[in-house]
Amino acid sequence: MLSLSAQLMVARIAHGSNPYLEVPPGDEFSSSPAYRYANMTNDAAQAEIDRRRLPFAPETEPIVGVRLPGRLTGPMHGVWIHGTIRGPEATTVPFEILDGRLALALDDFCRVLAAHGIEELVHFSIYRPPPRASASDGFLFRHSGALAIDVAALRRSDGTWLRVEKDWPSAPGARTCGPSGRWSTEPNGRELQSLVCEAKDLRLFHYALTPHYNRAHFNHVHLEIKPGVNWLLYN
């Protein structure tokens, strides 16, 4: 395994000079949910899905770039996860496909959401089919590998909504978590940030790219797990 300084150098090359990259000690991070899930074999991921009885229905045909593709067919810990397309079409659009490894991370996140009275998560996309030119026999990462989700809004059990675009003012370059974070002065925005930072404390995802990351994320929070890396980026 690369030394801590070497890992940080690789991370800096991958993400420029972002000051919010963190490289925990290897043994510490290798036991985190994000690391364990992202690096599971298909058999191990499916066994854990079965053990938890997750509402994960495997796709019957291979999906380009995705190692263990499937769709969520029900709530996890009482939280429904779905995209902006509803009705019968939602069962056929590619954007609802997710890798089983991401399903495990989202199951943990739904436990957090449920504890905060959240019953629904609306996303813009999970899987995004790669351009034909980039499709190959290998497996891909981020949205092309169905290992990332763009969270747009959350609904509480009382019917009220937390919307990223409306409730989380974008401040590119600002810190998201911790005492020096740029915290929203409004309750809804503060709660959204708190949920992301709780996921960080639990190390459920490798990445959480928020409206503070750049202007392209003004209306969603990108949550992602990634195999083979030992760093965190929550910004």
Which pTM was predicted? 0.91
Please give the torsion angle defined by the CA atoms of residues 22, 26, 29 and 30, in that order, rounded to the nearest 10 degrees: 150
* Planar angle of CA 50, 100, 113, nearest 5 degrees: 90
Distance CA 28, CA 48 (A): 22
pLDDT digit string (tens) for 136-193?
Answer: 557 889 999 999 999 999 999 999 999 999 999 999 989 999 888 899 889 999 999 9
pLDDT digit string (tens) for 210-222?
Answer: 999 999 999 999 9
CATH class of 56-229: alpha beta
How far lies 116's CA from each of 30, 157, 200, in Å?
Answer: 28, 9, 16
Q: Is residue 82 very low, low, confident or very high in pLDDT (cuts 50, 70, 90)?
A: very high
From the CB of residue 123, how many other CB atoms can be counted at a distance below 10 Å? Answer: 23
Distance CA 130, CA 145 (A): 9
